[in-house]
Structure 1
Amino acid sequence: MKEAFTTRVEQSGGSVHAGWGDIHNYYTASPSRQETGGRSPRRIADDQLRLLRQRFVDSTGMGEARRLLAEHSTVILHGEPGSGRTAAARVLLYELHRDTGIFRELLPGDEEETPLTDAGLVGAGDRLLLDLAEADGARWWRNRRDLPALRKAVQEQQAHLVVVMPYAGTLESDLQFYRADIEPPPAQEVFRRHLRLHGIPHEEYLQSAPAWDDFLAEQRANEEIADFADRVRRARTAHPARDGFAGWCEQARDARKTWRQEVAALVAERCEVPQRALLITTAMLHGAHADVIHHAAALLLRTLEIPEDRIAPLEGKDLAERLTEISASAGPDGHVRFDKLDFDAAVRAHFWDHLPDLRRLLGVWTARSTELDDPHLTAGLRKDLVERLAHQYLRAGQWKELAAMADGWGTNATTPTRSTAAVHALTPGLEHKRYGGSFRQLVYTWCRDKHLTGHLAYVLLRVCTDVIAPTHPDQAMVRLHHLARRERGATPALDALCELVATSSRLRRRMLDRLTRQSSPSATDTRLFLRICDPVPLTDPGGAPRALVDERYVQECVTSGWREAFAELPQPYWQPYAQRWLHTASDAGDHHDLLLDLLVNAAGRNGGHLAALYSAARAAEPTTTGGAARGVATTDHLLQKISAAQGLRPSAAPSRPVPPRGATP
């Protein structure tokens, strides 16, 4: 392939293209990396696990589980539903955090996932969760059959595996050895742990609370207890001085009611459009400042194309009176809440279920509301608003409609706020237990095939790195690869892909395979290969038994990729990458010869490619770490290998490179 390039950089501080030719870098108004969070998927996963560990209360069986995991790299957790077995599995893996390997959830049976019997499934130091708590008998049998092969790979890679088995599942005698039974922790301690993390002083929650005692009269799952504690927190926030701990617990207990009948009666009584608009606005923006509620309610009326009330401001009802009519009020801080705890959720469900014609308009209004210019409208409140809408779609099983709405927001986004709203709309779907797989498949299709207009590429990049990658890095890698293939100019998807593969040698190996094992790799994939095939991580074993570059399969991928680069890309494009390769070879010690051999083998007997490689080595000499003399020595060694490849086989390296500087071998 022949390409003609000239270099033009239109804006400093952006991406740098190491080639020759027309390079046009276009910078759109997409959010900056600081706005996207700038955190690696590994960091996100570890933060999530650390938060879980803070809330977790050890129970009977955790000590045995830790022992089995430490001694045998595997533990199989068994416990009743609600006992905290899945949380225990995540905590066990978090406690094993090391510099090597990543946390991953295995999804056996998923068409994108590697089979459990594939040795390449496990990376050095990985922390693997196989959650089969909800598996039926057939699925549990299939995965149980593959556990010995998976355990062998885990031990070889110095990784760790936690399996959560079905409560009614059985285990063969050889697997019983790794079983630990998890009992529910003391409910009182779980409750108090959550209250402490919510910032409630212990002198408050140590008081007696009959409503809490009533709640505990039945055996409660850990999730129910955590939810009760959160309701206590919200009751305390709404009425910090009025009721005390016993009163907050009463509200938390009463909030377990659905409030359906009360909401239906209220909606029937408040039949005027402005009243109902204020009611649904307060439910969607529950806890927002009164100014936000006022402006958002007016925006809803405009969205519904309701003529504005022309009554002079001093003639009509003030906001406080209007809020009283819908059983809400503004607290001392100016933030609006319903008088009954969790009444807002019931209002949202009522409007969604009984006014279906309102659903599409609620989506339009939500998008517009996130863009309101109000200092009280924080990023967290925007996120809550979008997620509340998304949860209504998911609750009603309308995941396709939710995806279509997010697609429209991202495709037609004209502001960073709208594209961020699209990310927040997709996130609950991707994290949903039932629909998560469907959303991941949809994101895959969009990354590969969809016309990426507006800020949709940014939206997909965000959900891949922030939502999919922390638990399903392999799937995120594939989606980012498709996005990177389609980039022109700036390369945020490629940058994110490089950051992701840097977290795991296994991911880098898989990525090298994807880029080089095609029958005819594209020029785009060859360019991507040069970024992924970084010699520094390839030669650094980290915590693994050996470096990636020592593996025969990786050597074949590297040779194939460089062969394509020499053949299909102009020298000014690949030369900076070759120079980095040569600089690394100068410092690589045991890998010095291997790195040079891989480049020479890739060039083969092609005199032009060997000559270009030699000239790249000469150009790299002055910038070699340790001084130019070390670079000259590397060039000498490379020339020996080039001569051998051409059948010249010199008996010893000359003191200076031959032929003279400026010539070709």
Structure 2
Amino acid sequence: MSTEHTTWVEGAQSVTHTGGGDIHVSLGAAAHEHRKPVFRQLPDDQLLWVRRVLVAPVNMGRARTTLKETGTVILDGAPGGGRTAAARVLLREHHRPVGAFRELLPGERDELPLHNPALVDPGDRLLLDLASAEAGLWHDALGGLPALRRTVHDRRAHLVVVMPHGGALDPDLQHYRVEIGPPVSPLEVLRRHLRAHGVPHEQFLRDDVTVDDFLRDRKPMREIADLADRIRRARESAGPGEEFPEWCAAANRARAVRRAKVAQDVAGLPEASQRALMITVSLLHGAHADVVHRATALLLNAVGPSEEGIPLLQRMDLAQRLSEISARCGPDGRVRFTELDYDSAVRAHFWDHMPDLRPHLGTWAARVVESNDPHLVPDVRDGLVARLAGEYLRTGRAEALAGLAERWSTQGAGRARSEAAVQALTCGLADPAHGRHFRERIYQWSAYRQLTAEFHHVLVQVCADVLAPGHPDHALIRLHHLARRELGTVRALEALCDLTAGSRRLRRRLLDRLARGGLPPADVAIFLRVSDPAPLTDCSVTTRALIDEEEVRRSLITCWRAVLTEAVSQPEGRRAAARAEIRRWLHWAAENAGDRGEVLLDVLVESAARCGDDRGSAFAVLYTSARRTECASPGSDAHSARTTDLLLQKIGVAQGLGPAVPSASARGGRS
């Protein structure tokens, strides 16, 4: 992904993070709470935000026309001109009820090759951001682009590729290349961001010397967006009577490197209590004073002596202690440093220069989030975790952050610590430099590690709510592993079912994965939950239902063979679920499937025919289930009777007891 220069600042609704600072993601209910995930909502929110703040770069119109006419556009241009933002806005403009926005990650585990047609669903909006890709990755991607482009065109999807600036491009792809340049007016870029941040237009439309000086030299779009965000934060923390010039001046001062000043300030505060308060305020910046006071005491208990020997009334009050570290408590009761972005410099100083403090901060943060304080609201808790995670990620300690999230989810971890673990992993997944590491780490946990129930729930929530929106294939594989290994709960299985319910492509891929995996008992149980005949026979999106596809029928036959084998060989308790699903298929074939009903019967009969020595018993199970379905049918008895007769005829043919007739799929010419 292009991370150096973009043209937006993410809002609170986004899970994408493209640089320094904080990320806050409130996902609502706890990992322990039984709830339905919110697939695909976050990327659309993110794309809407990008569209709000984008000032059209040079050649945006040509890129829009190329994408509309061909379904594909390849964006080139110098870094800092807004290529990635333009790519996202172009895809947002093609939002449709069908399909989803996805970012392709060629070369990663679980990502299908670009030439694989299964990568694309009708109506999908695909982003292939290789702006910062190395030459080898770009060369490999070029090999798959022609096939990917053809699939995108055939399925009426849309593809935007961001290519490395100066990279080679094959002659047959030059037609789709558009060179993007920065917007003509950097001032308009700044104002558009300020408007999106809610700054009153009567403020930002006035001339300002600080803004003029900043924009005098051509700046990358990312730096302009960062300035707008600092102005927004300066406005939020401004004193009475301060207006736009003061906000801009404070934002500009915050650009200066504060590390030397912080080092000098820390040297002048030798007491442990002073430094503990300084660290606490930096990690809980904007939290209520009661939270800061309690958290400071917890930090002192974790790493140093307490003040128990000093009488309560002889101790300095919080206001005095805050003044010593250049912080104050505002009228709203919230504590902040008096200088903008001083908190991030304090965090960086203690993290970099007191490495022995790092493990204590993880333990302390877990205790803070578990504090029973009415002012410890979700935003405050998430902010603490995000700032701490930011220091891990800033210094390249992704594995240590992953380990911290796992430790927070040990046996007996409560709701607050589980939510903190979700937030920590969210920050890791959203980080451009370390997202791939966290996707791989979650795979290793899901597939191979023995997990506590608490951490299992954390991973299910992260896969469903964070990973699935932008990378659903990765979420599917990890949820499959979690579902086949879970005991005493079905949360991963339900999340997996919900994920596939919204995508023909994902349902097709899961069926193929189940069929190729040998169908152990856990996978048989999963198949019985995802084999709903309704989406398999649905043709409301396209004229071709899933069950019309030869590959899908082949997967279904393999899976049903395992189900029928289990239905005739396992104890009654294990057989009940299989027979219930058979009856559901037969009922759907009789009442709702139309001309696809006979295809459902063909799949069941072919599956039974492949059961080897158990084929006779499997046929008996099908026939018995049909009779029971007929008796219990709430619809037309005649439809059910005809379905049973047709099933019996097909069973007879499969056993060589009747004249051969072509299958429904063969007669209909479907393949």
Q: Which residue of 2 aligns with 1:397?
A: 396
Aligned to 2:486: 487
Equivalence map 1:74-153=2 (5 Å): 74-153=72-151
Question: What amino acid does structure 2 have at the position aligned with 1:581?
Answer: W
Which residue pairs with 1:416 in the alignment? Answer: 415
| Cross-structure match for 2:616 | 607
CA shift for structure 1 position 37: 7.2
Deviation at 1:103, TM superposition (A): 1.8
Q: Is the 8 A contact 1:414 1:454 kept in 2?
A: no
Q: Is the 8 A contact 2:295 2:368 kept in 1?
A: yes
CA distance in 1, matches of 2:660, 2:147: 49
Q: Is the 8 A contact 2:31 2:457 kept in 1?
A: no
- Alpha-carbon shift at residue 548 of structure 1 (Å): 1.1
Shift of 1:109: 2.1
2:588 to 569, 584, 589: 584
How far did 1:278 drift? 0.6
- CA distance 1:414–1:138, change in 2 (3 Å): closer
* Aligned-partner Cα distance in 2 for 1:112–1:428: 21
Three-state SS of the structure 2 residue aligned to 1:98 is: coil
Shift in alpha-carbon separation, 1:627–1:249, aligned structure 2, 3 A = same
Within 1, Cα distance between the matches of 2:478 and 2:550?
27
Offset of 1:401 from its aligned partner?
1.2
Which residue of 2 is the match for residue 477 of structure 1? 476
Distance change in 2, residues 1:188/1:537 (3 Å): same
CA contact (8 A) 2:36 2:495 kept: no
Q: How does 1:220-369 map to 2 (within 5 A)?
A: 220-369=219-368
Verify: 1:641 aligned to 2:650, yes or no: yes
Q: Is the contact between residue 32 and residue 457 of structure 2 (CA under 8 Å) also seen in structure 1?
A: no
Pairwise CA distance, 1:69: 1.1
Partner of residue 530, structure 1: 528
- Is the 8 Å Cα contact of residues 125 and 543 (structure 1) preserved in structure 2? no
Distance in 1, matches of 2:269 and 2:599, equals: 79
SS of 1:598's equivalent? helix
Counterpart secondary structure, 2:40: helix
Work out whether residues 538 and 549 of structure 1, in 8 Å CA contact, stay in contact via their aligned partners in 2: yes
Aligned twin of 1:177? 175
Q: Taking structure 1 as reference, are residues 645 and 49 closer, same or farther at Cα in structure 2, changes over 3 Å only?
A: same
Partner of 2:22: none
1:26 matched to which residue of 2?
A: none
- Structure 1 residue 629: Cα displacement: 3.5
1:571 aligns to 2:589 (yes or no): no
Aligned to 2:571: none
> Aligned partners of 1:625 and 1:55: how far apart in 2?
55
The count of aligned residue pairs is 622
Q: 1:628 aligns with which of 630, 633, 637?
A: 637
Q: More deviation in 221-230 or 441-450?
A: 221-230
Q: Deviations over 1:3-59 (max 9, x none)?
A: xxxxxxxxxxxxxxxxxxxxxxxxxxx966796874432223222222222222223
CA separation of 1:193/1:315 partners in 2, compared to 1, >3 Å: closer, same or farther? same
5+ residue gaps in structure 1?
1-29, 653-665
Inter-partner Cα distance in structure 2 for 1:400 and 1:140: 27
1:561-592 CA-to-partner distances (Å, cap 9, x unmatched) read 11110002443121221122122212111202
**Aligned partner letter, 1:387:** A
The equivalent residue for 2:515 is 516
Equivalent-residue separation in structure 2 for 1:536 and 1:334 (angstroms)? 55
Shift in CA distance, 539/34, structure 1 to aligned 2, threshold 3 Å? farther
Structure 2: tracts of 5 or more residues without a match: 1-27, 568-573, 662-671
Shift of 1:223: 1.7
Provide the residue aligned with 1:157 in structure 2: 155
Q: 1:31 and 1:200 mapped to 2: Cα distance?
A: 31
Contact 2:133/2:164 (<8 A) preserved = yes
C-alpha displacement of 1:622: 4.9
* C-alpha displacement of 1:542: 4.0
Displacement of 1:343 after TM fit? 0.2
Which has the larger displacement, 605-614 or 80-89? 605-614
Q: CA RMSD of the aligned region, Å?
A: 2.1
TM-aligned CA deviation for residue 607 of structure 1: 2.2
Matching residue's letter, 1:98:
R
Does the 8 Å contact 2:210/2:249 carry over to 1? yes
Which residue in 2 is equivalent to 1:23? none
The one-letter code sitting in structure 1 at the alignment partner of 2:584 is: R
Cα distance in 1 for partners of 2:134, 2:413 equals 47
Q: Quick one: distance in 2 between partners of 1:206 and 1:435?
A: 39
1:10-49 map, 5 Å: 38-49=36-47
Aligned ranges for residues 60-71 of structure 1 at < 5 Å?
60-71=58-69
1:446 aligns with 2:445: yes
Report what 2:7 is aligned to: none
- Is the CA contact (8 Å cut-off) linking 1:283 and 1:348 kept in structure 2? yes
1:44-59 aligned within 5 A: 44-59=42-57
Is contact 1:151-1:161 (8 Å) kept?
Answer: yes
In terms of mean alpha carbon deviation, does 528-537 or 570-579 score higher? 570-579
**Is 1:191–1:229's contact at 8 Å kept on the other side of the alignment?**
yes
Paired residue secondary structure (1:470): helix
Q: 1:226 to 1:651 in 2, by over 3 A?
A: closer
- In structure 2, how many angstroms separate the alpha carbons of the residues matched to 1:452 and 1:351? 33
The 8 Å contact of residues 100 and 543 in structure 1, kept in 2 or not, is answered as yes
Kept after mapping to 1: 8 A contact 2:623/2:644: yes
1:5 maps to which residue? none
Give the partner amino acid of 1:381: V
Kept in 2, the 8 Å contact 1:112–1:475? The answer is yes
Q: 2:57–2:81: 8 Å Cα contact kept in structure 1?
A: no
Judge conservation of contact 1:640–1:650 (CA < 8 Å) in 2. no
How has the CA–CA distance of structure 1 residues 551 and 454 changed in structure 2, closer, same or farther, with 3 Å as cutoff? closer
TM-score for the superposition, normalised by structure 2:
0.89
- Cα distance in 1 for residues equivalent to 2:207 and 2:311: 51
Q: Determine if contact 2:37/2:461 at 8 Å carries over to the other structure.
A: no
